Amino acid sequence: MNFEKRRFTTSPPTTFAEFILDEEKCTGCAKCVKTCPIQILEMKDNKARPNKRYREHRCITCQNCIAVCKQDAIQIKGDYRVHRGLFKNDDIFPDTKTMPEPIEEYKNYNFEDYEDKLTETERVIYKRRSIRLYKKKPVSRELIKRVIEAGRFAPSAGNNQPWKFIVIDNKETIDNLDMEIRNALRYITYLTVAHAERDKKTPGDMNARLSLWQKAILPWIVRKNPNDFDPRVTGGGINAPASDPDFHIFFRAPVLILLLSDYRGIGKTHLDTGICGQNMTLAAHSLGLGACYVGLIDAVRYSSKLKKMLGIKHPFEIITSIALGYPQGDLDKSVAREPARIDWLD
């Protein structure tokens, strides 16, 4: 690894996207605040705004806030770009985010203008959102089985079918799991987050800084686990669930499905299980349900207590989880995404 990448392993020069609210259109429904996955929004004077808990607005530009706002009161301006160091990406994205462009002749049209030209599968893919706002209404086991059955028929290397499912539809059990995982995350934030930011305070301490011992160990931790310490999530992404008593990792969904994989399986079993999960989320959408991948379940991997609690035994390991339930209204909407990086080889 060259010197520049080592130097900017943590806190690299970064441009974050900007949350812009049209206050005249905003009705104060707070759906954007509730659906933000890393809790960087708050309500003040009945309007949404960046919560200023952290020194930077670490927006991951998922644009779910835009999708749930029925008043079209929100814009996300700009893109997440890292300019130097390990996470440098300003040289690999050719342009800014764009709306779906599956049909060349409709490239500059609004999505709604050509939606009827697409197949049902395409429409589901472009409009389906990760749902974080659920009704308390229970989901029947018949519907849950239909979702899992769609996953069962996913492709896998060598028809290996390495997956296994744990279904939790008991509120108390889901809440206990949420609490245990948030407690485990406190150990991670002790190592990786400025201690003045480890408790929920708004506004936060703008002078909060990492200690010398944290600065010494963090570059090694980040290089070993870059996927877990992207600059967008080292603040809110990890710290919000660990430090906010009102945060619920599984969004208080009535059902939680854990996806496990037999680590001895053929090929890349993590990939196969991910494909299985995508079948399940699309099936859930088609059944009028909402779903959201929750990767923080990965904490189970390192806890014998949690493994025992969930009955996870050899040869299975946790891969991810899916929160499932009825969404609070129609929350589906097409949003912009980074342009595809394609190398055409003749």
239 in any annotated domain: no
Concatenated DSSP letters for 106-150? GTTS-HHHHGGGS-HHHHHHHH------B-S----HHHHHHHHHH
Query: For the whole model, what pTM was predicted?
Result: 0.93
Across 127-158, b (16+ Cβ under 10 Å) vs e yields bbbbbbbbeeeebeeebbebbbebbeebebee
What proportion of the chain, given as a percentage, has pLDDT over 70?
A: 96
Q: Tell me, what's the pLDDT at 6? A: 62
Sorting pLDDT into bands at 50, 70 and 90, what band is 4?
low
289 in any annotated domain: yes
What is the C-alpha to C-alpha distance for residues 163 and 8, in angstroms, rounded to an integer? 38
Q: Which domain holds residue 313?
A: 141-169+254-325
Q: What is the DSSP letter of 299?
A: G
281 in any annotated domain: yes
User: Among the listed ranges 25-39, 64-78, 94-108, 197-211, which one has the minimum average pLDDT value?
Assistant: 197-211
309 in any annotated domain: yes
Q: Tell me, what's the pLDDT at 55? A: 67
Contact assessment for residue 16 and residue 60, using Cβ atoms and an 8 Å cutoff: no
Sorting pLDDT into bands at 50, 70 and 90, what band is 251?
very high
103 in any annotated domain: no
- Model confidence pLDDT, tens digit, residues 186-199: 988 899 888 988 88
261 in any annotated domain: yes
109 in any annotated domain: no
- Residue with the bigger pLDDT between 48 and 206: it is 48
Instruction: Please report, for the domain that includes residue 279, its CATH number.
Output: 3.40.109.10
- Model confidence pLDDT, tens digit, residues 211-233: 999 989 988 988 888 888 888 77
Task: Indicate the average pLDDT of the chain.
Answer: 91
User: Among the listed ranges 25-34, 51-60, 66-75, 82-91, which one has the minimum average pLDDT value?
Assistant: 51-60
88 in any annotated domain: no
